[in-house]
Amino acid sequence: MCKIIVQLLSFLCIILCSAQTVHSCQLFVRDPSPLFSKTFGSKNITFRSTENHIKLNKGESIQAYCGSGIVVTTNYNDQRHNQYKMASFFCDENNYIQIRGLDFDSTEEYTIYCSSSSSSSLYESKKKLPNCDEALSYGIGEKIPLIGTIIKLAICYDIETFELKYANYIAYEKKDILISPEQSVNSKLGVELEQKVDDLQNYFDFMSQQSFNISRDREPNTFFRAFSFDFESILQDEQLRKQLDKWTYIFNIMWWSQLRQNNWRFFLDALKERANSEKYMVFVGSYGNATMPITRSSSDPPEELAVQSYGLKVSAPMFVWAYVKLLSPSKAEEFVLIGHNSPYMESPDHTEFCTTDICDSILWLKESKFGHLRRVPTLGYTFCCRAEEVAKIIDNFPMPKGALETTTAAAVDLTTSMTFL
């Protein structure tokens, strides 16, 4: 429905905009671009400018919004950082742009941009994510006046242990146009932005990438040194990672580089391609503890694959998983993709999580580069399972507990009635 409106409007715009070739005012725009908002009839349309300028006819006005504050400059580099988030630009009868809402006035041509590309905040949500009862549910996003709430990502996070249970987001979403009134954008993520949370990093110590690197490079164990590991975000989607840069301390995990740079990347590439035509919800998390090969007496417990620095320790998870779900009312498609995050596995396979590896039943996965390379152990052996099976193994797996209990209850009933027969 929305899609149709957008298409209709862009079609109308093409007709109207090309008919009106004489524009009186130009407002130049630079990255990071503000959001622009304009009323067309009964709808307000919000968009990011794809060009470096916006044209306005005499008497027209447009609103600009930057969560981080609007910056206005002129040709004479008269730069003013403004504490204002919103301003409106009006093309007057003398072809000058008048700014309303900012303490700035000039007859020069204006260039505007946002003072920072990230304007999101972390919020606690009373509405709980699935199977996240022991931890807390959070959303990262922003509240934009007149438009509503944009939620980029939701997380299930244990604030006592600083442990990420999982994160969820919509894969490769390109939402450049929003139409209001529309309720909460992205409310599909299952959280609400309620109570703003201060930056934990200012109060607690987290491993930085730099101290991880220093300790990693000093590690004497030759088995450790034979492979490469890094401390990087569990969100390897470039666009998302850039937007959530502030929160790396929440998302960083110890990756085996081969998995991250090969099969996990190939999976994301396949998903990105697929996301051009279908919308997917993705939950990501990690599971288990990777260990070093046992070289001494076999009665010693295996040594954890970890890096320590000044009292902080990060351990490599044994697996990284992504629960991928098609968001479509008419079609169902879902699977959990699980990658081995350890180079020391002797014969990696799927049996710890499920009876059948179902990656090949999803055509777009099977036919991708990922599909061809996913079983190569040196690139990070990766497989797929049904979510119901994985939910029995992984704590806090994002599947409502009720859904599982019904299946178990049905099975129990069956055995009971069989005993009576």
Ligand X SMILES: *[C@@H]1O[C@H](CO)[C@@H](O)[C@H](O)[C@H]1NC(C)=O
The least distance separating ligand X from the CB of residue 269, rounded to whole angstroms, comes to: 20
CB 288 within 8 A of CB 345: no
213 binds ligand X (CB under 6 A): yes
- Per-residue x/- mask for ligand X, residues 155 to 194, rule CB under 6 A? -------------------------xx-------------
Stretch that binds ligand X, among 3-11, 68-76, 171-179, 209-217 (CB under 6 A): 209-217
The least distance separating ligand X from the CB of residue 65, rounded to whole angstroms, comes to: 10
- Cα–Cα dist 361/261, whole Å: 24
The H-or-E segment that residue 305 falls in is none
Stretch that binds ligand X, among 74-82, 108-116, 207-215, 248-256 (CB under 6 A): 207-215
Question: Is 35 or 365 the residue whose CB approaches ligand X more closely?
Answer: 35
Q: Which amino acid is at 45?
A: I
- Per-residue x/- mask for ligand X, residues 216 to 245, rule CB under 6 A? --------------x---------------
Question: Is 106 or 209 the residue whose CB approaches ligand X more closely?
Answer: 209
Binding residue count for ligand X, defined by CB under 6 A: 12
Q: Which residues lie below 8 Å from residue 287, measured CB to CB, with a gap of 6+?
A: 317, 318, 319, 320, 321, 338, 393, 394
Helix (H, G, I), strand (E, B) or coil at 134: coil
Query: Taking the alpha carbons of 404, 138, 184, 152 in that order, is the dihedral positive or negative?
Result: negative
Question: Is 280 or 321 the residue whose CB approaches ligand X more closely?
Answer: 321
Stretch that binds ligand X, among 69-77, 208-216, 334-342, 400-408 (CB under 6 A): 208-216
Stretch that binds ligand X, among 99-107, 156-164, 205-213, 340-348 (CB under 6 A): 205-213
Query: Taking the alpha carbons of 187, 67, 39, 45 in that order, is the dihedral positive or negative?
Result: negative
The least distance separating ligand X from the CB of residue 364, rounded to whole angstroms, comes to: 31
CB 155 within 8 A of CB 166: yes
> CA angle, 197 as apex, 324 and 113 as ends, to 5°?
80
- Per-residue x/- mask for ligand X, residues 260 to 289, rule CB under 6 A? ----------------------------xx
In 3-state terms, the chain is what percent helix, strand and coil (to 5)? 25, 30, 45
210 binds ligand X (CB under 6 A): yes
Of the candidates 10, 24, 26, 44, which one interacts with ligand X according to CB under 6 A?
44
The least distance separating ligand X from the CB of residue 185, rounded to whole angstroms, comes to: 13
Please tell me what DSSP assigns to residue 109: P
CB 234 within 8 A of CB 260: no
- Cα–Cα dist 164/144, whole Å: 27
- Cα–Cα dist 196/124, whole Å: 6
The least distance separating ligand X from the CB of residue 375, rounded to whole angstroms, comes to: 23
Note the residues at the interface with ligand X (CB under 6 A).
39, 44, 63, 146, 180-181, 209-210, 213, 230, 288-289
